[in-house]
Amino acid sequence: MNSKILLMLQLQNQLNDATNGEDWVKGITKNKKVINWKRCIYMECAEMIDSFPWKHWKNIEVEPDWENHQIEVVDVWHFIMSLAIENYFKTLRGGIEDVANDISEMEAFSKIDTDSTGFAEPDAVIEKVENIMRIVLAKENLELESLFAEFFDLVVMSGLNLDALYRLYVGKNILNQFRQDHGYKDGSYIKVWDGEEDNVVMKRIWEEKSDVTPEELYRELTKYYLALTKSE
């Protein structure tokens, strides 16, 4: 079993417990609102496509926003893991460790456990994103293994590997927890910090401090945010 996959699944489960209540695996929040992870995935995928200059009526010569695209890939990963955990619970296939073990044994997973990274052609990336959308929009039974395979292809095509996915995921997970703790749900949270989105600040902290732990990252975000709110 791959330890990074297991840790990401555990962190996602903890975030979902804290945000939605422990019954989220049954498809409902603590406030009795229905959860639709498939919709989360295809809506996030649609946002991902906007990282590319696909609109023929606009300037198609601009470069793709690969940095934003990579953040969107990680956002989709949050939802795919959530869907998998929920699916395993509902179909009695097992818990988080079972999900992690099955992912680790997939042939498709070996593609991202590599040192090599590089960007694919934008049109090919968009096509891969749309493949993911097709899987989650299908009316028949969820093809979870196909979803993972397509996603891992997307990871590699997006210039990421397992280590990069892990670091970005842990960073975004901690940021999501930070947002929840600082008024994200009631609308009081400030997302733009001195002209930069909090995503960008989080990513820079990771890049500047390669050995930072999740706990230290949370403390760094707190320092930035307190300085920001005190100045207003």
> pLDDT tens digit string along 154-202?
999 999 999 989 989 989 888 988 998 999 888 999 999 988 889 888 8
Residue 106 has pLDDT above 90, yes or no: yes
CATH code given to domain 3-184? 1.10.4010.10
pLDDT at 177: 86
Q: Is the pTM of this model over 0.85?
A: yes
From residue 190, alpha-carbon distances to 5, 183, 184, 217 in Å are: 31, 8, 8, 18
CB-based contact 158:73 (threshold 8 Å): yes
User: How is the chain split into domains, by residue range?
Assistant: 3-184, 190-232
pLDDT at 200: 85
Q: Are strands 192-193 and 196-197 parallel, antiparallel or unpaired?
A: antiparallel
The region of weakest confidence among 60-64, 129-133, 188-192 is 60-64
- How many CB atoms within 10 Å of residue 45? 25
